[in-house]
Amino acid sequence: MTAVITRQRTQSRTTSVLSLAERLDACLAELHVLLTRLGESAAARLAALRRADTEALRVQSEEEERVLARTAQVEQTRSAILADLAQALHAHDANPLRLEELADRLQEPISSRIRARSVGLRSAAEILKKNTRLTADVAQRLQLHIRAVLAELAGANREPIGYGAGGRTESCVARTWVDALG
């Protein structure tokens, strides 16, 4: 009788672990899609910056905001599933399990699927990181260029008013449209 109860508990635990692993797989698949969309969005933002298309930048920002909000939700779900899986697998380490370590404790074929999702997520995250850095660099250089242009315009507002003592030219600061716009 005890062997039957133990077998039932083991089957129940295995079913629970498999169910959680399937949910984790689905969650990782959605995270991959979201990170890919963010990477594409960063590339589109860069293209909009290069075209100086403010409308496209606004649309891209709104889209990124929606995708980031969904990414945060999915990430919370992923964390909760990982905690449940760690508990179901009796993995109460001080450090949380990494996906690869978790996959090592799961049965095939779900183990291989989670490993593949992990690789895909890393790849999508690297592309996102590269596109985001490039966009930030372009935006910073554009800002520096605009500041330099405005500084040049603001510095060109000295006009001579005549000669002063000792024969030197005296000048005063003229008011320009830059002063009016701030």
Q: Tell me: the pLDDT tens digits for 106-126? A: 888 888 898 999 899 999 999
1 token code pair: 């009788």
- 15 pLDDT band, cuts 50/70/90, is low
Q: Residue 92 — very low, low, confident or very high, per pLDDT cuts 50/70/90?
A: low
Report the 10 Å Cβ neighbour count for 147. 10
Cβ-in-10-Å burial (0-12, 13-18, 19+) of 70 comes to middle
Its pTM surpasses 0.95: no
Comparing 31-45, 64-78, 102-116, 142-156, which segment has the lowest mean pLDDT?
A: 142-156
> Rounded to whole angstroms, how far apart are CA atoms 22 and 114?
9
Cα–Cα nearest to 67, from 33, 26, 28, 117: 33
What band does 171 get if pLDDT is binned at 50, 70 and 90?
Answer: low
Task: Compute φ and ψ for 158, nearest 5 degrees.
Answer: -95, 130
Question: For the ranges 29-33, 86-90, 125-129, which has the lowest average pLDDT?
Answer: 86-90
Single-letter amino acid code for the residue at 23: R
Domains and CATH numbers, the chain: 2-156 (1.20.58)
| Alpha-carbon 85 to chain mean position | 26
pLDDT at res. 96: 66
Rg (CA), the chain: 30
Q: Where are the beta strands (DSSP E) in the chain?
A: 158-163, 169-173
